[in-house]
Structure 1
Amino acid sequence: MHNEMELCQVIYSFLTTQIRFGAYRFGDRLPTMEEASQQMLVSFDTVRSAYRRLQADGLITLSKSIGTTVRVRYSGAEIERNIRAFYGERRDALLDLSQSMRLLFGKTQWLAMKTMPPEALDKIEDYAREKNIFLSYARQLQLIYDSLHNDLMMRLVWQNFMFFEAPFLSIAENIKYFVKAGNPLLNMTGCCRKKDWTGLQAAVDDFLTVFPSALSQFYAERLVPSPAQPQISFAWNGYKKPSQLCYSLSREILGSISRGEFPAGSYLPSLEKLAKEKQVSVSTIRRTLTILNQIGAIRSINGVGAQVLLLDQSSENCDFTQPIIRKRLQDYIESLQILTLTCRRTAESTFVSPDSLTQWKNLLNEIRRTGRYETIIYDSMKFISRHAPLQTIRMVYTQLLQLLFWGHPLRGIHGNQRDFNRVLLPHLEILLDCLEREDSAAFAVELEDISIRQLNFTAELMDRLGFPEVRALRVPEKL
C-alpha cells in the first residue's frame, strides 16, 4: 500500500487497540519511531504521524529522554470491558467477515505468492519465524499483497486487517488458535519453492479457515451472549478517500447511458433539470459534465446541450492523458481483477437454493433475449452483489461494480455489438447449460474463464493506450 495517510491510519488503529486491550500497559515502552519504521516497513514520517495522533489522544507520551511510553492506565476490569464492548458491537460483522475471507483472499493470496520472487519468499520466512506473531503477520500481509500491484486490493486487505485481524491478534490469549495451526506461512513458501501450486492453494485455504474457527471459539469461550445491541458494520470504500459528489454523479449517469436510458445521439437533460433531479447545485452538474466530456461519454455543444456519444466516438473523444481519467481507468481494471480473482468462489457460494438457480437462469435468458451479451460479466457480478449469503461479499461487490463504469471509453475499442455477440454467445450457452444441469461448480469455472479473458484483453488494450503499469494485473488463463 502506497498511500501514506492510509498507512498512518493502520498503525494508529492497531496501536490504539493494543493499548485498549492491554497488550501495552501503563508505563510500557512502545518501539521507537525508528524501530517501528523498520519493523512495519513504512517511512519514518508515517510512523511519526501515527505517534503524534496517539499523543494527541492522550494515549502515549513522547520523550526524547525515555522514548515513547503508554500514558493511559487501564485496570484489568477496564481492559476486559473494552474487549467485551468491542466484540459485542461487532459480533455480526466479524463473524460474517471471517467467513468471507477465504472467498475474497484465497485465490488472491495464492496468485500473489505464486508470482513472488525467491528473495521475497526469503523475507516471508524470516518474518514467519519472529516471536511477535502480530507484528510479523502485518509485515507478511504487506509483502505478499504488494506483489499484485493492485492498490484497490491492498486497501481491502488493510481494511480487513484493521477491523478484524489486528484487534483479534492484540489479545495475547488468541495467539493459541494460530499456534495450533502450526506455521502456515512456512508451509506456503515451501509449496512455492517446490512449485506445488495445488499444495499452495490448500495451504492458503487452510490458513484462512483458521480465522472463522478461531473467532467462533473465542466468542464461545470468552464472551457471554448479551442482549441485542446496536451493531457496527464492516465498511470499505473503493476510493482512497471519500469521492467528490461529481464522481458519484458521473458514475450514475454512465450507468444510465450503459442501460440505454440515454441512448447514443440523445441529449442529457439541462443543467437546471439535472441539478433539480439529483438535488445538487448547478456548479456540481457542470463539474460532472466536464468529467463525462473528458471520459468521452458525452460531447457538450454550445447552445445545444450535452449529447451522448456512440461507443466508438467515446473512445475517440476520451482524453487518456488526463490524470483524473487515467486514475479512474486504473480503478476500473483493478476492480475487474478483484472480481476475476474472487468470482468463482463467490458464485458457487451464491447458489444457496433452487430459487437462486432459477433467478440466475432468468437473468441470462434476458441477456440472450436482448442480445447485449457484453453485460454477462457485469450482470452476473451484480447478481452476486444482491444474492450472496454473506453481507461482506455483497458490500464489496457493490463497491467494485461502481468502479466498472469508468471503463466506458474502452468499450468502443473492444468492438461493436456484433463482435461482442460472436465471441460471447458460446460462453452464454455454456452458462445456461450449467444452470439447466444445476452444476454450480461448472458455472463458476465458466464465469471465471470469461472474466479472465476480459481482464487480460483489457490489460493489453490499456497497455497499447499508454498504461504500461497494467501489465502486472494480468492473471494466468487457468487459476
Structure 2
Amino acid sequence: MNLCTFTYSLRKNFMVCYQYNHVPGENMQEKKTLFYFLYDSLKQQILSGCRQYGSPLPSLSRLCETYHVGRRTARDVLDALRHEGLIHTEERKTAVVIYRQPDSPEENTALRFVLQRKSSLIEVYETMELLIPALLTFSAVHCCTGEPHSLRDLEHYSLFQKYAKKKKPNDDLGIPSVFFHDLLKETGSLLLNDLYASLEVYTRVPLILMKEQFPAYKISSNDYKILSSIPLILESGRQEDVASVFRELYSHATVLVRLYLDSLSSRFPDIPDDPKAVYTWQAQMGRDHFYMQLARALIDKIGTGACPPGTRLPSEAALSKSCRVSLSTVRKALSTLNDLGFARTENGKGTVICLQDNETAFQCIKNPSYRRDTLLYLSAAQFMAIAVRPAARLAFPRLNREVQAQLGREISLPDSNPLACIFRCIMDNLTLRPLKSILAETDQLLLWGYYFAFFEKGTESSTPLHQLAAEAFHLLQQDDAEGFSRQLSLCYCHILQFVRDFMISGGLTEAKKIMVPYPEEG
C-alpha cells in the first residue's frame, strides 16, 4: 500500500471514529467528561423545568449512584450550578433549585421538553425493551450462577425483596433499579452499568419529575406484580422464566410510556415532536484521550494487514496533516504503538511497523492504562455478543435479495472482513436510532486489528472468525432469521473467548470475570 493510499485510508478510518464520538459544539480535541455528563443532565433538567423552583436535588450519594460518578465530580458540578445561580447550597443540606419557571401548563417547559422528545423517548424505551432483558437474564442466570446465595450476596438484593413484599407501590421512584445495576456488575463489564445509567437518566428523570403536574405516569398494578415476582423467579435459576419476566416488564413499560405520551400530545397539540432530538451515549466518556483514538485506528490498519510489518509509517507531519491533528497527538499515538509492540520508532528514520509478540503483550498488561483498555475491549465483545441478536432480528426483514447480493460482493473481496461487512449491512438497515447509536459506539472499541494481529496475514488469513461469519451469511441467504442472529452472536463470542483466554494466560486475571455469553439453542 503506497503512502497516499495508506494516509487516505487511515484518515477515513480515524474520522469515522471521531464522527461516532463527537458531540456537536465540542472542540475536536475535547472528549465529553463525566463532569459534563452530570452537569449537562442536571442543568437541562433545571432549565427545562423538570426540576422546579424550590425542589431539592438528589443527595450527593444519590447523584453518585445514579450517574456513576465520584463524590468530587458531583461536588464540582454542584459548585458550577451554584455559581450560575441555578441552585442554592448549604453545608450538610441538599441543594435546592432557585431557577424559576412559568406556571401555566401551556407554557411549562418541562412539558415542552418531554413532548418535543416524544419519539426519541419512545425509541429509547423500545431499545431498552430489546437489550436490557437479555443483559439482565445473562447476568442473573450465568454470572450469578442461578444460586440463591449468589443473588442474596448482591448489595441491594434485600432492598429489592422488601420492595417486592409491599402490598402496593408508593410511586415509580420506589423501583430499586440499583438492584439491576448490581446484576449488570456481575457480568464483569466496564460498559453495561454506564449504559444502563445513561438510558435511565434519559427516559425516567423527565417523566418522573413531571408527575406532580401530570400524575397519569405511574407504575401500573400489573407491572408491580411483575416486579414483585422477580426475586422468586431469579432464585429458581430457570433461564426461560427469568428472560420472560424481564421481557414482560420492559414491554409493559414501553406500552405505558407510549400511551402516556400520546395522551399528553393530544392534550397539547401545539407542542410538536422534534425529529432532531435523539439519544446518544459515549462508551468512552471521560476515559479516553484523543491520541488513543488515533493509536487504535493505526492498530486497526496494522492488524488487518493494510500496512504489513516491516514497512514504515508516514512521517509525523504527514499523519498530522492527513488526520487533522496536532503533532503532539501524533507523537503520543506513536509512543503508544511502541509501548504496545506494534511499531518501533528510530531516531531520524521514522516508525517501522511490526506485530505485537506475546512477551510485549504480557508486559503491557502490567500498565494500568493498557490493562483497562484490554478489559474495555473484552467488555465490548461481550456486549456485542448479546446485542447483535436483537439487532440482527430487527434488521432482518430489510435484508432482501438485493441487499444480500451487494453484501456477497463485499464479502468476496480478497481483503474483506466478512463479519465487519455483515455488521455494516445490519447498521445500514436499522431504523431504531438509539440502538444504532449504542452499537456504533461499542463497535468503535472493537477495531478489528486487535483480533487479526494474532494472525500473520491479517484479514487474508483463514481464521475461525471468517468461517463463523461465512456460516452467518449462508443462514441469511437461507432466510433463517433466528439462525442468522445466533451465528452472529457466536462470532463475537469467539472473539471474546479467543482474546480473553490469551490475556488470562498472560496474567490479566480480571478477564476471568468477563464471562462469554454463548447463545442458547433455539
User: Where in structure 2 are the equivalents of 1:11-160 lying within 5 Å?
Assistant: 13=41, 17=45, 21=49, 26-27=53-54, 48=75, 51-63=78-90, 68-74=95-101, 76-77=103-104, 81-114=108-141, 115-116=143-144, 117-119=150-152, 120=154, 121-128=157-164, 129=166, 131-160=170-199
Distance 1:162 1:27, change over 3 A: closer
1:370 matched to which residue of 2?
Answer: 414
Distance 1:277 1:57, change over 3 A: same
Q: Give the AA of the match of 1:153.
A: L
| Partner deviation per Cα, 1:447-478 (whole Å, 9 max, x = no partner) | 11232233123222211122111111113433
d(CA) in 2 for partners of 1:13 and 1:135?
A: 21
Q: Point out which structure has higher relative CO (alpha carbons under 8 A, 6+ apart).
A: 2
d(CA) in 2 for partners of 1:412 and 1:12?
A: 40
* Count of paired positions: 470
Deviation at residue 38 of structure 1 after TM alignment: 9.4
Q: Is the 8 A contact 1:320 1:326 kept in 2?
A: yes
User: Where in structure 2 are the equivalents of 1:281-300 lying within 5 Å?
Assistant: 281-300=326-345
SS at match of 1:307: strand
Residue 451 of structure 2 is aligned to residue 398 of structure 1: no
Q: Is the 8 A contact 1:93 1:232 kept in 2?
A: yes
User: Where in structure 2 are the equivalents of 1:216-235 lying within 5 Å?
Assistant: 216-223=258-265, 224-225=268-269, 226-227=271-272, 229=274, 231-235=276-280
d(CA) in 1 for partners of 2:379 and 2:243?
A: 22
Q: Is the 8 A contact 2:49 2:109 kept in 1?
A: yes
Of residues 188-197 and 54-63 in structure 1, the stretch that sits farther from structure 2 once superposed is: 54-63
d(CA) in 2 for partners of 1:296 and 1:367?
A: 30
Question: Structure 1 length as normaliser, TM-score?
Answer: 0.83
d(CA) in 2 for partners of 1:150 and 1:38?
A: 17
Residue 385 of structure 2 is aligned to residue 340 of structure 1: yes
Q: Is the 8 A contact 2:56 2:97 kept in 1?
A: yes
Deviation at residue 386 of structure 1 after TM alignment: 2.9
Which structure is higher in helix share? 1
1:170 matched to which residue of 2?
Answer: 209
d(CA) in 2 for partners of 1:34 and 1:93?
A: 29
SS at match of 1:345: helix
Deviation at residue 156 of structure 1 after TM alignment: 1.2
SS at match of 2:345: strand
| 1:359 aligned residue (399, 403, 426) | 403
d(CA) in 2 for partners of 1:269 and 1:395?
A: 32
d(CA) in 1 for partners of 2:454 and 2:35?
A: 37
d(CA) in 1 for partners of 2:259 and 2:137?
A: 26
Distance 1:313 1:386, change over 3 A: farther
Deviation at residue 335 of structure 1 after TM alignment: 0.8
| 1:319 aligned residue (341, 364, 367) | 364
d(CA) in 1 for partners of 2:65 and 2:325?
A: 47
d(CA) in 2 for partners of 1:42 and 1:20?
A: 23
d(CA) in 1 for partners of 2:494 and 2:396?
A: 23
Distance 1:168 1:265, change over 3 A: same
Q: Is the 8 A contact 1:21 1:79 kept in 2?
A: no
Q: Is the 8 A contact 1:40 1:135 kept in 2?
A: no
Q: Is the 8 A contact 1:152 1:335 kept in 2?
A: yes
d(CA) in 1 for partners of 2:61 and 2:413?
A: 63
Question: Structure 2 length as normaliser, TM-score?
Answer: 0.77
Identical counterparts, % of pairs: 18
d(CA) in 2 for partners of 1:272 and 1:32?
A: 50
1:214 matched to which residue of 2?
Answer: 256
Q: Is the 8 A contact 1:12 1:51 kept in 2?
A: no
Deviation at residue 403 of structure 1 after TM alignment: 1.0
1:457 matched to which residue of 2?
Answer: 498
| Partner deviation per Cα, 1:83-128 (whole Å, 9 max, x = no partner) | 2321243233223222211222221111223334232343322345
Deviation at residue 342 of structure 1 after TM alignment: 0.8
d(CA) in 1 for partners of 2:363 and 2:70?
A: 37
d(CA) in 1 for partners of 2:359 and 2:450?
A: 5
Q: Is the 8 A contact 2:388 2:488 kept in 1?
A: yes
2:3 matched to which residue of 1?
Answer: none
SS at match of 1:328: helix
d(CA) in 2 for partners of 1:195 and 1:393?
A: 28
d(CA) in 2 for partners of 1:379 and 1:318?
A: 33
Q: Is the 8 A contact 1:28 1:69 kept in 2?
A: yes
Deviation at residue 9 of structure 1 after TM alignment: 5.3
Q: Is the 8 A contact 2:64 2:71 kept in 1?
A: yes
d(CA) in 2 for partners of 1:37 and 1:259?
A: 40
2:424 matched to which residue of 1?
Answer: 382
SS at match of 2:479: coil
d(CA) in 1 for partners of 2:60 and 2:252?
A: 32
Q: Is the 8 A contact 1:60 1:68 kept in 2?
A: yes
Deviation at residue 25 of structure 1 after TM alignment: 5.6
Deviation at residue 336 of structure 1 after TM alignment: 0.8
SS at match of 2:301: helix
2:9 matched to which residue of 1?
Answer: none
Q: Where does structure 2 lack aligned partners over 5 or more consecutive residues?
A: 1-32, 145-149
Q: Is the 8 A contact 1:385 1:395 kept in 2?
A: no
Deviation at residue 202 of structure 1 after TM alignment: 1.0
Distance 1:123 1:334, change over 3 A: same
